[in-house]
Chains A and B, each alone.
Chain A
Amino acid sequence: MNDEKIIDLFWKRDETAIKETDKKYGRYCSTVSMSILHNELDAEECVNDAYLSLWNSIPPHRPQVLRTFLGRIVRNISINRHKSTHRQGHNCYMDVSLEELMDELGDCFPSDDDMTNELSGEIKEHLQAFLREQDALNRKLFVGRYWHSYSISRLSASYGLTEGAVEIRLRRTRTKLKKYLNERGISV
């Protein structure tokens, strides 16, 4: 079933919308969640939560691209889940990758303690604009690494670069982002 029809089902409050969404994007959602949580049970829960959230979001929303709309929800829920399990002292998961990502992002983003809602909104705008200005490859690498949580080796294999080259490009992009934000009054 295509996305338009699925969204229509949501708008009609037809519960088969969830079933169809799961059929079409279930694996995709699991992948997104697993890349953050590395735990199947938690990922499954997050995906289910995401479906509920999707159910509550449509209507009023009518997403242009259901795949990314849903992916975004799953990702946010998974990140929050990761955060809460850490707070509770559950540190038994293979959560190295999100830690790694957060470490890397430390180069260019303020920590949670320093992040206010206002600042967050401001950075969001600047981040979009900054990425638009980057060349396609660097943008893909950045989004691939920090949105999709791809490993350096996977990115290098996919784009025909050495792992070192990927790391250098990512580091340069982060450095540029930091500078970009600094120039706009956001110090990291």
Chain B
Amino acid sequence: MKKTRYQACLLISELDDDMILEAELANVPMRRRVGHVMKRVWLIAACMTLLATATILLFLPAMLREYPAPSPIPPLTSEPAVETPEPVVNWVSDPTLVRVERLSASEAVADPDVTEDGNLVSVESQTQYFANQLILIHFSCREDEHVMVEPSSWRSALNPVYLYTAEGDGHTRSYWRFKNEELDGHISVSEELEYSRYKDYFGRPVTVENGDVLLWQYANLALACMEDNFVDFTVVDDEGNITGGGSIYIGGYDLTSMSKNKKYYGESQYGDFGGSFESFCFTNAIYRPVVLGAYRYTNEGGGDNEIQAQCLKELHALALERRESLFADVSSELLRVSVREALADYAWVIGKTGGWGLSSFGKYQNETKYLIMSFANSLDPADHEYLLFLYEGTYRRITGWEVHLQNEYGGMIIGCLYLEDGTVVQVDLRHADQPVTLLPPAETETA
């Protein structure tokens, strides 16, 4: 007799909630039943078609004899107009579906206990990381709905998401809950916030019930600021139908301050950026949480999820277009020119070369007063159109440089930079307290 394994099935029933939830797919029980009905409908339709075809074939010769063929249609003088069917848009914009807000450092961190240990990365200044990058996302779905929130790429997935509910306690493996609805100084961060623990959860959708608030924390600003920093969300009802969705852009940048963060991801944790290079994080990024689109399907509670998912993709494409306009009010003309490419190239320069020449030196701490931004499109030294020198909040183009002593990567240790206004920046990184000295144009001549 065949051995049964009902006990095994019952054992599997006892798996933890988060495992069950994470594996749950949008389920449409009716679809299966509808599918059976549809099969019958198709069968009947096919039979009818066959019958009709047979009838026509049977009577066609007689019909042709009775109705002779009409005279040939005269050729058209111009190409006939091709009618393009109107695209079917089955969703409508719903700005009330989601709203986002940013908490400033002072609002977010009232808890003096948020210490280094509680931060995602155990390097200095990380309290600031924890403090600065809190984005609250409020969804207003119906009670019979929930929202599946998904980072749109691994870059945005680097930022952990916290579900933040009124009476939440403890945490599960798919998200963590803070204890209080208001950020009233009781934020507790469990040990599980260590990066090594939650890195397994990249890309995992988070389920949000109505009234919950998603707390989006920026952990990796260098990556977060660059690209693909979108959060897609889909509203799903209890039957598994997609009833809405949208896309949120959460990002921003402010190049006035950077922080060198070697420990965080300088240990080859990420294949693409692997290596022992030093990486950089923007510590004072200005976040621009923007709802790029939020919509509801007009055929709520039904419809084809595949079509709806396609709509979601289209919306995301629209979101990508809109992103460009987000940068329109950036103060620096040079930044506005090509911010996306610039940031991407900057990352590339840093990542590929382990710090290329001028772009890698400086004192990248919170008290940063100067910074070299290489916005070049290549590593060709002649291509320095976008090479900028930032000093106390002001950008100036670098028009040339001399390297007198370089490090193993070709980065400048001793040398000088020539700025567009004639200023000469003397660089000597051996002196940590005063690594650069600016000689204004007037002094340059005498120097």
- Residues of A at under 8 Å CB distance from B? 1-4, 23-25, 27-28, 30-31, 34, 64-65, 67-69, 71-72, 75-76, 79-80, 82-83, 86, 98, 101-102, 105-106, 109-113, 115, 120, 123-124, 127-128, 131-132, 135-136, 139-144, 146-148, 150, 154-155, 158
Nearest A residue to B22 via CB reads A140
Chain B positions within 8 Å of A106 at CB level:
3, 5
Q: Which residues of A contact B14 (CB under 8 A)?
A: 72, 124
A2 touches B211 (CB 8 A): yes
Bound complex: CA A113 to CA B1 (Å)? 12
Contact A146 B238 (CB under 8 A): no
Residue ranges of B at the interface with A (Cβ–Cβ < 8 Å): 3-17, 19-25, 27, 29-30, 143-144, 167, 170, 172-173, 200-204, 209-211, 238-239
Q: How far is the CA of A143 from the CA of B163 in the complex (A)?
A: 23
- The minimal Cβ–Cβ distance linking B342 to chain A, given in whole angstroms, is 33
Kindly state the separation between the CA atoms of A71 and B143 in the bound complex, as whole angstroms. 19
- Whether the Cβ atoms of B23 and A112 lie closer than 8 Å is no
- Alpha-carbon separation in the docked complex, A158 to B24 (Å): 10
Pick the residue among A109, A135, A141, A155 that contacts B11 (CB under 8 A).
A109
Q: Is the CB of B11 within 8 A of A127?
A: yes
Chain B residue, CB-CB nearest to A149: B9
Pick from B3, B5, B23, B167: contact of A147, CB below 8 A: B23
Known contacts A24-B143, A143-B22; A64 and B17 CB within 8 A of each other: yes
Given A102-B4, A112-B6, output 13 extra A-B contacts at Cβ < 8 Å: A2-B143, A64-B17, A65-B17, A109-B11, A110-B8, A112-B3, A113-B3, A115-B7, A128-B15, A131-B15, A144-B24, A148-B23, A154-B25
Whole-angstrom CA separation of A155 from B24 in the bound complex: 10
Contact A148 B13 (CB under 8 A): no
User: By the criterion CB–CB under 8 Å, are B13 and A72 in contact?
Assistant: yes
Cβ contact within 8 Å between A111 and B5: yes
A136:B29 contact, CB within 8 angstroms: no
> In whole angstroms, what is the CA distance A48 to B6 when docked?
21
Chain B residues with CB below 8 A from A24, complex form = 143-144, 238
Cβ contact within 8 Å between B22 and A79: no
- Check A71 against B11 for contact (C-beta < 8 Å): no
A147 close to B12 (CB less than 8 A): yes
Decide yes or no: A143 and B20 within 8 Å by CB, A28-B238, A128-B15, A136-B203 being known contacts: yes
Please, how many angstroms separate the alpha-carbon atoms of A70 and B79 in the complex?
64
Q: Contact between A102 and B5 (Cβ–Cβ < 8 Å)?
A: yes
Q: Please name all residues of chain B whose beta carbon is closer than 8 Å to the beta carbon of A113 when the two chains form the complex.
A: 3
Give A173 Cβ to nearest chain B Cβ, in Å.
12
- Pick the most buried of B8, B13, B201: most chain A CB atoms within 10 A of its CB: B8
B7 and A112: CB pair below 8 A?
yes
Q: Is the CB of A146 within 8 A of B22?
A: no
A83-B4 contact, Cβ under 8 Å, with A34-B29, A128-B16, A135-B200: yes
Give the chain B neighbours of A28 by CB distance below 8 A.
27, 238-239
Tell me, rounded to whole Å, the shortest Cβ–Cβ distance linking B306 to chain A.
10
Which among A64, A72, A139 is the interface contact of B22 at CB below 8 angstroms? A139
Closest B residue, CB atoms, query A20 = B143
> Are B209 and A143 within 8 A (Cβ)?
no
C-alpha gap A127/B16 in the complex (Å):
11
Contact partner of B23 (CB less than 8 A), chosen from A86, A111, A140, is: A140
Which residue of A has the minimal Cβ distance to B27?
Answer: A31
A75 and B172 alpha carbons, distance in the complex (Å):
22
